[in-house]
Amino acid sequence: MIDHWRTFAAYNAWANRRLYGAVAALPPQDFARDGGAFFRSLRGTLNHLVVTDAIWLDRLRGGFTPPHQLDDVPYPEFAPLEEARAALDAALSAFVAALTPADLDRELSFRRQASPEPIRQRLGSALAHLFNHQTHHRGQAHALLTQFGGPEAGPPLDLLLYLRETGAA
């Protein structure tokens, strides 16, 4: 099962690199353009993913207090956001690489921003949520890319493509 999560961490970083490369190819004004997504724009959506991944990584490491609100935009400019994303993907990959099978059953304890009661969750199910959440919002960002730049603006992000390209299939 550990190999499963290591594959997802590597896939996550690969998909983010592809997505960010496509965003960089758009005209700069499209980065903050409101496209009607849940977090409105590519800037809002990609910042949300950085914020939530930072929160989850802190929780996975045993932290308890979220550093940001879910709709914060700590990186209003693309270049620093891209750097933060790459650093976060590297940190997440390193965290997952160090896990043992027993770690997946470790219980996390944290508080959600929306409610004060403590939450307890297994680390393995938290990883499932983190990677699924990434895929969900990457899909929204992909829709914005194709809305702004046409069908060719959105790169393929399929897990099967990643597995074939890396020889992990």
Binding residues for a divalent metal cation: 48, 133, 137
How would you classify residue 106: left for phi > 0, otherwise alpha for psi between -120 and 50, otherwise beta? beta
- For 161, how many CA atoms within 13 A lie in the half-sphere containing its CB? 8
| Residue 6 CA from chain centroid, whole number | 15
Binding residues: 48, 133, 137
What whole-number distance in Å separates Cα of residue 86 and Cα of residue 65?
Answer: 23
Task: Find out whether 2 and 99 touch, Cβ atoms under 8 Å.
Answer: yes
Which stretches of 1-99 are DSSP H helices? 2-25, 42-60, 78-97
Name which of 37, 12, 49 is nearest 148 in CA terms.
37
| Residue 122 CA from chain centroid, whole number | 19
